[in-house]
Amino acid sequence: MKLDTKTRRAVFRAAFAVCWLAALAVLFVTGRGHTLLIDNAPLDGAIAAFQNVKVSVNGALPVTFGAGDRDRFFVRGTKARIKIEAGKGESSPALPFEAVLRLPLRPDALLLSLPRLAAGTGDALEEFTTAPAAPSTDESAANEVIDTP
């Protein structure tokens, strides 16, 4: 059965539109970027921070972290490969450690706790939100209405 020219054009255009939308969806998901904040802070005395470790994100050059340090990385895509190696003076039995994290699509900034990640707890990655800024005393004084008789 042979289709007429108008029907063939409509089928071709519909198939082209579906392929175009599928390509856009794939590019959106794989090209999505996240700000990944890596934190090496102790957690309520239960899990101690590392004293000196080298952390590599997605095969980049390692960055040295001391206890209480935090640094920012930009990762693209839905996965991040984290590699933690011992630095000078570090004697943790959990090192070296490597993990592949699946990043959620929605939040732009994520906080990763190195001690939680190495300890194997499931809540090592969380959404990072900033606290709203408190108004300064100058702004609050300017916003007050002064009644003068």
The confidence score (pLDDT) of residue 95 equals: 80
Q: What is the number of alpha carbons within 13 Å of residue 129 lying toward its C-beta?
A: 5
Find, among 59, 131, 63, 42, the residue nearest to 98 by Cα. Answer: 59
In percent, the amount of the chain with pLDDT more than 70 equals 90
CA distance 34 to 47: 26
Q: What is the pTM of this model?
A: 0.71
**CA angle (114, 117, 119) in 5-degree steps:** 110
Does the pLDDT value for residue 128 go beyond 80? yes
Sign of the alpha-carbon dihedral angle for 47, 121, 118, 65: negative
What is the average pLDDT across 113-125?
85
pLDDT tens digits for range 16-38: 999 999 999 988 888 888 899 99
Three-state DSSP class for residue 129 = coil
pLDDT tens digits for range 41-85: 887 777 888 888 999 999 889 999 988 899 999 998 888 999 988
What is the average pLDDT across 111-128?
86
Query: Which fold would CATH assign to domain 33-127?
Result: Immunoglobulin-like (2.60.40)
CA distance 111 to 5: 56
pLDDT tens digits for range 133-148: 776 666 555 555 555 5
What is the average pLDDT across 97-114?
89
The confidence score (pLDDT) of residue 144 equals: 58
Find, among 109, 49, 44, 118, the residue nearest to 83 by Cα. Answer: 118
The confidence score (pLDDT) of residue 51 equals: 87
Spell out a b/e string for 45-75, using b for 16 or more CB atoms within 10 Å of the CB, else e. Answer: eeeebbbbbbbbbeeeeeeebeeebeeebeb
